[in-house]
Amino acid sequence: MSDRPTPQDEPRTVLLRGGEVHSPADPFATAMVVERGHVAWVGSEGAADSFADGVDEVVDLEGALVTPAFTDAHVHTTSTGLALTGLDLTDARTLTEALDRVRAHAVARPADRVLLGHGWDASRWPERRPPSRRELDEATGGRPLYLTRADVHSAVVTTALLDLVPHAAGLPGGSPDAPLTGDAHHAVRAAAYGSIAPAQRADAQAAALERAASLGIGSLHECAGPRISSADDLTGLLSLAAERPGPRVVGYWAEALTTAADASRVVELGALGAAGDLFVDGSLGSHTACLHEPYADGPHTGHTGAAHMDAAAIAAHVTACTEAGIQAGFHAIGDAALTAVVEGVRAAADRLGLARVRAARHRVEHAEMLTPDHIAAFAELALTASVQPAFDAAWGGDEAMYAERLGVERARTLNPYAALLRAGVPLALGSDSPVTPLDPWGTVRAAAFHRTPAHRVSVRAAFTAHTRGGWRAVGRDDAGVLVPGAPADYAVWRTGELVVQVPDDRVASWSTDPRSGTPGLPDLTPGAPLPVCLRTVVGGHTVFTRPNE
């Protein structure tokens, strides 16, 4: 992430005082000075008096909490914006309600060449099935429609959209009426997104960035790629973000490389690495995550999902990226996919040297079905686990989708955050929006109150992974924390009493005592109100202010 000045005026020198500043520099800090886009000082209210006459602005926090801005380490920005501005079925309670919304959306958007929607999840509906093609044809009046499942690894479409991509039905993952997966899904997605006018795409991206800023998110990791979006989508987003004061956007381009020379395209696009959603497998919800043992409810007996890259291809990619000096990364969810990743990265380390591979900070997105051996290998190879705790909140537990797909015992092994931290694996938290919404405090809560108690981590650990962890994942160890010299990326929050929350009584109680000097954070107990963002600042520039505050 760059600290370069934005096209805006030079940031003002600001003294914030009269609140709570979350900083390891001073666990009892109530004031902070920001100068030239960086944190200049953090300290006590009494010491703040000496700065008051030398700043451009004094902000009375009135007891508010100041924290580092969040980094969402896995976002699909255009898709997020389209969900915000278009058809979003994430909260549809029944199939009938979903079809009614499709019908209303088609009426409201008569000029759209292709209707776009997102978020259906039949596992939550009483009908227990997705909409049929005939139902969608009727609801849209025969118009093209692309409607992704919540995990974005499958989609239902209308006959009119398939008519625009006649070869899709014969590709792997094609079906006469079931949701499309694999290559068939990618083909119809390319056609659907290809229908979006540049102005509509820019509006969607701006809407997503504005939503992120309103939630205290200062940075996003955009996970783009040829099977997900387009090069124009990525370059347009990076250009848009560069023209605005924030949030910052770091781009990844998920294209497999075989030689270091292949990395030139990734660099030309402005991406930090050939990483993000470079698919080793699919998703559990769509039965396409690659497993060692069959699904408990698979579409046919013995079904173990889909493998898109083997260990040899992974090794070649990691080798090429390491030699080119860029990050490699993969989407891997199932245990078999994660085994392939570990074997491939280890083979690259054997060829190039372990220290060189570790220094590159390669990353794995999702990493859900980790075994103890996988976790040990992640630590050995210094792989960052870019994870989404809201997945567990949505689909974890003994009676939800994970248990349906895998059975209760295997489902309970998913997303083992505590074990990852114990092993020293770097964590970066994100949403995979629009799969789950941009919701940073909700994400921290989901990690701290994981549906499987053994996998819970402290609020402080989750918060660190969602702030500093995202910066570390892009090679920056000096940011994501409010200490002198760090970028002035911060958020101001209205919240209740600050506490030090730990998962359960097994954690040492000293850390909850004020005398320990551990900075407090908001109470994230399920059911408690989440903090409200009052202001977001990126590089010293205010990018969001809550109205009437």
- At residue 509, the pLDDT reads 36
Residue type (1 letter), 476: R
Residue 294 lies in a domain: yes
| Same domain assignment for residues 52 and 154 | no
Per mean pLDDT, which range of 16-20, 197-201, 277-281 is the poorest? 197-201
pLDDT at 275 over 80: yes
Is the pLDDT at 548 greater than 90, yes or no? no
Both 188 and 335 in one domain: the answer is no
By the 8 A CB rule, do 435 and 150 touch? Answer: yes
Residue 469 · residue 69 · CB < 8 Å: no
Picking from 179, 197, 215, the residue at the C-terminal end of a domain is 197
How far does Cα 157 stand from its chain's mean position? Answer: 26
Start-to-end CA distance of the chain, whole Å, equals: 30
Q: Examine the fold and report which residue of 150, 167, 197 is the final residue of a domain before the chain moves on.
A: 197
In a domain, 234, yes or no: yes
Instruction: State whether 103 and 53 are in the same domain.
Output: no
pLDDT range class, residue 227, cuts 50, 70, 90: confident
Tell me whether residue 507 is in a domain.
no
Sign for the CA dihedral angle at 195, 246, 80, 288 comes to positive
Please enumerate in sequence order all residues whose Cβ is within 8 A of that of 128, keeping only pairs 6 or more positions apart, or say none. Answer: 122
Strand intervals (E) in 367-469: 384-387, 427-429
**CA dihedral sign of residues 72, 77, 83, 86:** positive
Check residues 499 and 238 and name the one with the higher pLDDT: 238
pLDDT at 492 over 50: yes
Spatial CB neighbours of 186, under 8 Å, sequence gap ≥ 6: 227
A 10 A CB-CB count for 197 gives: 10
pLDDT confidence tier of residue 538, bands split at 50, 70 and 90: very high
Identity (one letter) of the amino acid at 267? V
Q: Do 237 and 305 fall into the same domain? A: yes
Q: Is residue 525 part of a domain?
A: no
pLDDT score recorded for residue 3? 59
Residue 1: pLDDT above 80?
no
Q: Are both 228 and 290 inside the same structural domain? A: yes
pTM over 0.75: yes
pLDDT above 50 for 166: yes
Contact 332, 340 (CB under 8 A): yes
User: So what's the pLDDT on residue 464?
Assistant: 97
Number of domains in the chain: 3
- The domain in which residue 357 lies consists of 199-474
User: Are residue 338 and residue 268 in the same domain, yes or no?
Assistant: yes
Q: How far apart (Å, rounded) are the C-alpha atoms in residues 99 and 248?
A: 37
Q: Tell me, yes or no, whether 260 and 363 share the same domain.
A: yes
Same domain, yes or no, for 307 and 207?
yes
Residue 194's pLDDT band, with cuts at 50, 70 and 90, is confident
Distance CA 438, CA 457 (A): 20
**255 and 310 assigned to the same domain:** yes
Domain boundary among 145, 180, 197: 197
What CATH number is given to the structural domain containing 324?
Answer: 3.20.20.140
Region 125-151: what's the mean pLDDT? 94
Helices in 93-230 by DSSP H: which ranges? 95-108, 133-140, 159-164, 182-194, 198-214
pLDDT > 70? residue 517: no
- 83 and 33 in a single domain? The answer is no
Q: Is 510 a domain residue?
A: no
Q: What is the pLDDT of residue 510?
A: 36
pLDDT digits (tens, 9 = 90+) for 315-331: 999 999 999 999 999 99
Give the separation between CA 521 and CA 22, rounded to whole angstroms: 8
Mean pLDDT value of segment 60-80? 97
CA distance 11 to 36: 6
Same domain for 86 and 59 = no
Residue 245 lies in a domain: yes
Residue of 73, 176, 154, 24 lying closest to 432 (CA atoms): 73
Count the neighbouring beta carbons within 10 Å of the beta carbon of residue 3: 15
Is residue 302 in a domain? yes
CATH number, domain at 152? 3.10.310.70
- Has residue 308 been placed in a domain? yes
**192 with 203, same domain?**
no
For the chain, the average pLDDT equals: 93
Say which CATH number the domain at 541 has. 2.30.40.10
Query: pLDDT, tens digit, for every residue of 494-512?
Result: 999 898 877 664 443 334 4
User: Could you report the per-residue pLDDT of 52-67, keeping only the tens digit for each?
Assistant: 888 999 999 999 999 9
